[in-house]
Amino acid sequence: MTKRFIALISIRFMLDNNEIDKVRPKRNLVNPDIPFHFLHEEEPDLEGNVQSINTIFLTSKECAFKCLMCDLWKNTLEAPTPKAAILKQINYALNRLPNSSVIKLYNSGNFFDQKSIPLSDYPGIIERVQSFKKVIVENHAKLCGQNCVDFNDQLNGKLEIAIGLETIHPDVLPKLNKQLSPEDFKIATKFLGANGIDMRAFILLNPPFLTDEKESIEWTIKTVQFAFDCGVGCCSIIPTRPGNGIMEILQKQGHYVPPTLNALEEVFDKALELKQGLVFVDSWDIDFLSSCTHCFEERKTRLNQMNLSQKRHQPITCSYHQ
């Protein structure tokens, strides 16, 4: 990485796939026959009932949309996913997980990208998820078409598609290399909703180029509101983290500022006040938000409790910061 290239980032801001690739660290070594992670978790539904969920993080080909802030590519394959590999991964995880009513099949990209999830694997996947009342996958808004409807029609349960909206800030979203506009998102959600498919949205707190905390909180709430207005039933708020190469450069240049735990708590409180659907905050790997070792774990527990209850809990008072 040259000084000239770093200067180019500062001047242009708009980077393409190749330029983002240049500053990436090495990806992790993964096995195409084994999911890189899986877990059992709980999450409320729209009626307030707590659901048991088996979440499988599938190992598949990297997403074709190389978003500026993304680090999910670290656990992906460089080549198209081998046929039947996804079926082996699902078998592997389900043999080690307890029973649940919902399954998430997350593949660090797009479920309906046939280079990531081969079309020939669909019948086997459908067979393996017939006992679940809901199947949740992730997919880019521009890849939401008839194949989503066909897949949903073959399930015993219902399909839910999680779409990365990130932000509706008019200056920031185009710089994320997501190749998505709020109108694209609106078109996709209208199509999915008309075909009886549930939706959730991933929304960023402190994306690159939105460095003022007050403004970032404001635009996060605006984005949550927009998603709900589009018919989304659930919004998951993710604090934008460093760690993919380009984010470190942007941070040094002042174009990215990591969010604070205070900001995440404030956004969660305000999003719950909308009372228009489910709101979750992603508490996984948020240690980088911690500024106090004395109260962090208690505050993280509060966020997880609010995820389950969908109600604001009393803020944690730290005796070391009075």
In a domain, 4, yes or no: no
Domain residues for the domain of 287 are 15-309
In a domain, 100, yes or no: yes
Strands (E) across 46-101 are located at: 50-57
Average pLDDT over residues 184-196: 98
Predicted pLDDT at 19: 85
Q: Please tell me the pTM assigned to this model.
A: 0.93
Percent of the chain with pLDDT over 90: 87
**Better pLDDT: 1 or 141:** 141
Res. 11 pLDDT band, cuts 50 70 90: very low
**Looking at residue 210, which CATH number applies to its domain?**
3.20.20.70
Query: Does residue 1 have a pLDDT over 70?
Result: no
Q: What is the mean pLDDT of the chain?
A: 93
- State the Cα torsion 5-110-69-4 to the nearest 10°: 0
In a domain, 315, yes or no: no
> Domain tally for the chain?
1
In a domain, 26, yes or no: yes
Which element (helix H / strand E) includes 138? strand 134-138
Cα separation, 199 vs 194, whole angstroms: 11
Predicted pLDDT at 9: 54
In a domain, 30, yes or no: yes
Res. 111 pLDDT band, cuts 50 70 90: very high
pLDDT-wise least confident of 104-118, 191-205, 306-320? 306-320
pLDDT digits (tens, 9 = 90+) for 253-283: 999 999 999 999 999 999 999 999 999 999 9
In a domain, 278, yes or no: yes
In a domain, 199, yes or no: yes
Query: Does residue 4 have a pLDDT over 80?
Result: no
**Type of residue found at 41:** E
In a domain, 185, yes or no: yes
User: By C-alpha distance, which of 103, 140, 311, 313 is closest to 300?
Assistant: 313
In what order do the strands lie in the sheet containing 234-239?
37-44, 50-57, 102-106, 134-138, 158-166, 198-205, 234-239, 278-281
pLDDT digits (tens, 9 = 90+) for 132-152: 999 999 999 999 999 999 999
Residue 60: Cβ-neighbour burial (10 angstroms; 0-12, 13-18, 19+) = buried
